């Protein structure tokens, strides 16, 4: 049997229209999801987790979030995503329905955000009943690395930068 990519399905971030997987390696024993894209698609179809019409997104070994285009159970091509953006899960009122949003930031902030994503951190956003925006970065264990609450307006972008910088510094110091 040939070597296969080792990945996990990020169920908490999946929706009816998007399946998200994360490449977990180790790459001295497993090819990356990128290098085994056709095999990954075939296995996800075989298990019934992926069907035509459902987007397949993946977080690669460098922490970049991209999309794999597929059709009839076969890999077609890669679609780069979030090249200048940070993916946030936004929770919408009144019932907390989740959707993915992208916030464009400067390259040095994107680099830090990708590092955090590669270490299994996620970004969340919510507009509070006060009208303020809450942004968090947390680990898969639920540890909040950083949080910012600011008025919904021009302050948001600076708050996202502070959030990423604080989370990056905290994770690097652990």
Q: What is the pLDDT of residue 42?
A: 97
Here the tokens at position 70 are 């597929």
Here the tokens at position 20 are 């998200």
- Do 90 and 169 lie in one domain? The reply is yes
- Report yes or no on 69 lying in a domain: yes
At 16-66, the pLDDT tens digits run: 889 999 999 898 999 999 999 999 999 999 999 999 989 899 988 777 788
Q: Which residues make Cβ contacts (< 8 Å) with residue 154, sequence separation at least 6?
A: none
Answer for the pair 24, 32: CB distance below 8 angstroms, yes or no: no
- Report yes or no on 2 lying in a domain: no
46 DSSP assignment: H
Q: Which domain range does residue 141 map to?
A: 85-173
- Report yes or no on 11 lying in a domain: yes
Q: What is the pLDDT of residue 174?
A: 87
What is the pTM (predicted TM-score) of this model? 0.61
Show the low-confidence residues of the chain (pLDDT under 50): none
CA dihedral 39, 139, 79, 45 (to 10 degrees): 30
- Report yes or no on 1 lying in a domain: no
Structural domain total, the chain: 2
- Do 156 and 91 lie in one domain? The reply is yes
State the CATH number of the domain containing residue 104. Answer: 3.30.160
Answer for the pair 80, 58: CB distance below 8 angstroms, yes or no: no
Q: What is the pLDDT of residue 81?
A: 66
Give the domain-ending residue among 63, 80, 97.
Answer: 80
Give the domain-ending residue among 24, 57, 80.
Answer: 80
CA-closest candidate to residue 19, choices 35, 43, 1: 43
- Report yes or no on 14 lying in a domain: yes
Answer for the pair 75, 41: CB distance below 8 angstroms, yes or no: yes
């Amino acid at each position: 049997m040939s070597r296969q990519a080792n990945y996990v399905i990020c169920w908490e971030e999946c929706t009816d229209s998007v399946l998200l997987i994360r490449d977990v390696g180790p790459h001295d024993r497993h090819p990356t999801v990128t290098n085994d894209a056709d095999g990954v698609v075939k296995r996800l179809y075989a298990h019934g987790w992926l069907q035509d019409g459902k987007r397949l997104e993946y977080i690669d070994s460098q922490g970049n979030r991209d999309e794999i285009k597929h059709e009839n159970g076969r890999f077609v091509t890669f679609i780069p995503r979030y090249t200048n953006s940070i993916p946030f899960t936004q929770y919408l009122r009144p019932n907390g329905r989740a959707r993915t949003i992208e916030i464009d930031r400067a390259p040095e902030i994107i680099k830090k955000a990708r590092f955090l994503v590669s270490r299994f951190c996620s970004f969340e956003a919510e507009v509070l009943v006060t009208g303020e925006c809450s942004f968090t970065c947390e680990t898969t264990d639920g540890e909040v690395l950083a949080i910012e609450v600011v008025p919904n307006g021009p302050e948001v972008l600076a708050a996202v930068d502070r959030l990423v910088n604080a989370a990056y510094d905290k994770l690097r110091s652990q």
